[in-house]
Amino acid sequence: MKNEVFEVNKNGAFNPAVACGLPESQTLVKRPDLLQKRSRTHRTPVKQQLSKAFERFIADRQRASDKKPLRPKTVRSYRQCYEVFKPALLQTAYEEDLIEEFRTIIDQRLSLGKVNRSGMNVYIRGFNSFLSWCNEFGFLDNTLKIEKLSVEKRKPFPTLDVDDILKWQEFDAAAPSQLRAKHIGLLILDTGMRIEECLMLKESDIEWAGNRLWIGKGKGGANREVPLSAEGRKTLRYFLALTSDVRSSGKHSLAPLFTTKHGGHVSYRNVLRDLKAVAKRLGFAWVGWHSFRRTFATLYLRNGGLLSDLQQILGHTDVRTTIRYVGIKIEEIVAIHDQHSPLAQSGRRPGKRRPKDLKRVGMTSPRRFRKG
Kindly indicate the confidence band of residue 369, based on its pLDDT and cuts at 50, 70 and 90: very low
Rounded-to-integer distance, Cα 50 and Cα 37, Å: 23
Kindly indicate the confidence band of residue 126, based on its pLDDT and cuts at 50, 70 and 90: very high
- With 0-12 / 13-18 / 19 or more C-beta atoms within 10 angstroms meaning exposed / middle / buried, residue 56 is buried
Kindly indicate the confidence band of residue 330, based on its pLDDT and cuts at 50, 70 and 90: low
Rounded-to-integer distance, Cα 127 and Cα 130, Å: 5
> In this model, does residue 78 exceed pLDDT 50?
yes
Kindly indicate the confidence band of residue 61, based on its pLDDT and cuts at 50, 70 and 90: confident
Contacts of 249 (CB under 8 A, 6+ apart): none
Task: Return the pLDDT at 220.
Answer: 60
pLDDT (mean) for 177-191: 94
> In this model, does residue 211 exceed pLDDT 70?
yes
Task: Return the pLDDT at 146.
Answer: 94
> In this model, does residue 356 exceed pLDDT 60?
no
Secondary structure percentages of the chain, helix, strand, coil, to 5: 50, 5, 45
Name which of 52, 118, 110 is nearest 82 in CA terms: 52
* Average pLDDT, rounded, for the chain: 79
Rounded-to-integer distance, Cα 271 and Cα 176, Å: 11
> In this model, does residue 7 exceed pLDDT 50?
no
pLDDT (mean) for 53-78: 82
- Domain ranges (residues) in the chain: 4-136, 162-334
> In this model, does residue 167 exceed pLDDT 60?
yes
CATH architecture for residues 162-334: Orthogonal Bundle (1.10)
> In this model, does residue 75 exceed pLDDT 80?
yes
Calculate ∠ Cα 291-297-299, nearest 5°. Answer: 100
> In this model, does residue 41 exceed pLDDT 80?
no
Selection from 1-10, 59-68, 266-275 with the highest mean pLDDT: 266-275
pLDDT (mean) for 101-111: 94
In angstroms, the Cα distances linking 35 to 2, 100, 261, 267, 353 are 16, 21, 58, 46, 66
Task: Return the pLDDT at 331.
Answer: 66
pLDDT (mean) for 38-58: 75
The pLDDT > 90 percentage for the chain reads 35
pLDDT (mean) for 177-199: 94
Task: Return the pLDDT at 10.
Answer: 45
Instruction: Find out whether 211 and 228 touch, Cβ atoms under 8 Å.
Output: yes
Rounded-to-integer distance, Cα 183 and Cα 168, Å: 9
